[in-house]
Chains A and B, each alone.
Chain A
Amino acid sequence: MNLKPLKDALIIAELKSIPDLKRNPSMVLLVGVISSFPLFYVLVFGGNISYGLVGAMVATISFIGLVAAIQDISFDRYVKIREMIVAMPVNPVSYSVGLALGPLLISAPGLVFFIGLSVALGALPILSIGWAVAMLILCWAACSSIGFIVSTYFRNASVYTLGNIGNILGLGLVFIPPVYYPEEVLGRMRWLSMVFPTSNVAGLIRYYAGTLPLTMEMVLIRWLILVATVAVSIIIVSFKAKWRET
């Protein structure tokens, strides 16, 4: 079995995260702080802290997943490192997966902190940690893939434009749908929460944490939508991930 593509993805993940973490460890703090800002409002103005913590978990992984996917690809194009990698025996899918895994390593400490805090405050039962982690990984995969699709379709946009698009999209996916707040607020539009991978995952984590009552059919539908979102995004990325230009 050829393990080189997997090994390459891990090397790219390491080179995209470890030097940054070594020289700029405050970025871990930054990722955590951005995600925990809404918690401040929940605490000050009243609200369910367990909702806020689930939101922080989802935001930690999805915001950086999406933004980093867009910014890393556009930056690599800008500094022409991508051209050097294209000429190496590296599969484009390994490159994409590596780029997505790098930010995951950077967001991991924040994620562990929020999961730990949720467990400590009784917002997430220990038995539900596995479900939460599985869904967060799917959310990361979906958001990273969306990032890659955006950077592929805006191939000719400048690194600055793509950076702005990434931030707007990331903030939009995290703060507009019901990630930090209960989806019940949406009333008849509640189905919208299933459309976005971020709010869909937040809803499912709340279900497994026992704070959001859902029928079995609804859980199944949410899972199907989540898996389908990830699958379709990955298929598009794999299809578009080609080194050679025509």
Chain B
Amino acid sequence: MMNMEAVKAEGLSKTYRGKEPVEALKGVSLSINKGELFTLLGLNGAGKTTFLKILSTQLAPTRGAAYVMGYDVMAQASEVKNHIAVVPQDVQTYSNFTPWEYCYYFSLLRGMSKQETKDAAEKALRAVELWELRNRICLSLSGGEKKRAIIAMVLASGVDVLLLDEPTSGLDALARRKVWAVLRELVEKGATILLTTHIMEEAEMLSDRLAIIDKGTVVAKGTLDEIKGLAKEKFRVVVEGNHHDLNLEANSHTKFGNKQIVYVADEDAALKLVGTALKKGLKAEAARITLEDLFVRLVGRGEEA
């Protein structure tokens, strides 16, 4: 394994046994560089959480291997645990714990001294803007504040690799952006973050690189531009009104009521379509395709309109 890689998965597969076995991962190979924020994007049940659980030593893979900071997650779990911290999906707080107690106790479990723990807790709570609320019990905190308390807890641990499973799910836009700011700042300071999400804007705003996973298989990976480059149609035009007048190809548009997104190859085609639509008295707006557009086309399985 190269020094640059914080996380590496080679042909990782996982089948959950049972009456009807479920193949959650099918030979996933990925590498995440040190100091990188890597996003794993996928629908619910795509295999994102399974991948994270294997990396965090909670789950044994059926086949393949995974390494964190050069350590094998199966054979060297103790070493891996010294380098990682996890925020599970839908994690909840102990209602009568304070943010301070979260940071304090869980850092002590990392083997830090009491003084180191106190310093780390203060730093982490200030970073997530919870210092003023450090002694309030979680029961009285908002959803966003609770989530930030949990993130402060993993920050205080001072580890190299953070594995965050949908850390902003259920948060409002403001709270989500506060968490984003904290995560990006951490990466600027050298942390490696593997984030799973199904919020496209989050992936677009935060990721250095990302992968799209579908039914346990990686269907695309790279930087945002590289991923968007996979699409044949680089532009989208949102048309409002009766689109039948535009004579569109069946596969190139998605319809929501009287609005439709039309995908076209380039800027010229987009501008031409906007012009045509405007002439016919329709509203139209052109833009580059979004990650969501590409995601839906890659994993939509023909469910889009």
Contacts and interface: CB of A to CB of B under 8 A. Distances in A.
Interface of A: 4, 8, 11-12, 14-15, 19-20, 23-24, 78-81, 83-90, 243-246
Interface stretch (B103-111, B184-192, B253-261): B103-111
B290 interface: no
B13 interface: no
A241 to B, nearest CB: 14
Contacts of B109: 8, 11-12, 85, 88-90
A87 B91 contact: no
20 contacts: A19-B94, A20-B96, A79-B92, A79-B94, A80-B89, A80-B92, A81-B91, A83-B56, A83-B86, A83-B91, A85-B109, A87-B56, A87-B57, A87-B84, A87-B86, A89-B78, A89-B109, A244-B57, A244-B58, A245-B53
B91 A84 contact: yes
A88 B110 contact: yes
Nearest to B101: A19
Nearest to B60: A246
Contact of B93 (A79, A87, A90): A79
Contacts of B85: 84, 87-88
A90 B106 CA distance: 10
B137 interface: yes
Interface of B: 53, 56-60, 77-78, 81-82, 84-94, 96-98, 101, 105-106, 108-111, 137, 153-154, 157, 163
Contacts of A88: 81, 85, 106, 109-110, 157
Most chain B beta carbons < 10 A, residue from A24, A83, A243, A246: A83
Contacts of B137: 23
Contacts of A81: 91, 94
Contacts of A87: 56-58, 81, 84-86, 163
B47 to A, nearest CB: 16
B159 to A, nearest CB: 9
* Interface SS of A by simple majority: helix
A213 to B, nearest CB: 48
Which 4 A-B residue pairs are closest in the complex by CB-CB distance?
Answer: A79-B92, A87-B86, A15-B105, A80-B88
B6 to A, nearest CB: 15
A88 B157 CA distance: 10
Nearest to A246: B60
Contacts of A84: 85-88, 91, 106, 153-154
Contacts of B87: 84
B110 A89 contact: yes
B66 to A, nearest CB: 13
B204 to A, nearest CB: 27
B287 to A, nearest CB: 38
B298 to A, nearest CB: 29
B4 to A, nearest CB: 23
A243 B96 contact: no
A245 B153 CA distance: 24
A243 B58 contact: yes
A19 B59 contact: no
A20 B94 CA distance: 10
A12 B96 CA distance: 15
Contacts of B58: 83, 86-87, 243-245
Nearest to A83: B88
B81 A89 contact: yes
A85 B86 CA distance: 9
Contacts of B163: 87
A245 B97 CA distance: 28
Given A23-B96, A245-B59, A14 B106 contact: no
Contacts of A78: 92
Contact of B96 (A24, A79, A80): A24
Contacts of A246: 59-60
Contacts of B94: 19, 79, 81
B163 to A, nearest CB: 7
A80 B167 CA distance: 13
Most chain B beta carbons < 10 A, residue from A4, A8, A87: A87
Nearest to B78: A89
Contacts of B81: 87-89
Nearest to B82: A89
Contacts of B90: 80
A19 B96 contact: yes
A119 B62 CA distance: 60
B86 to A, nearest CB: 4
Contacts of A8: 109
Nearest to B79: A89
A153 B153 CA distance: 31
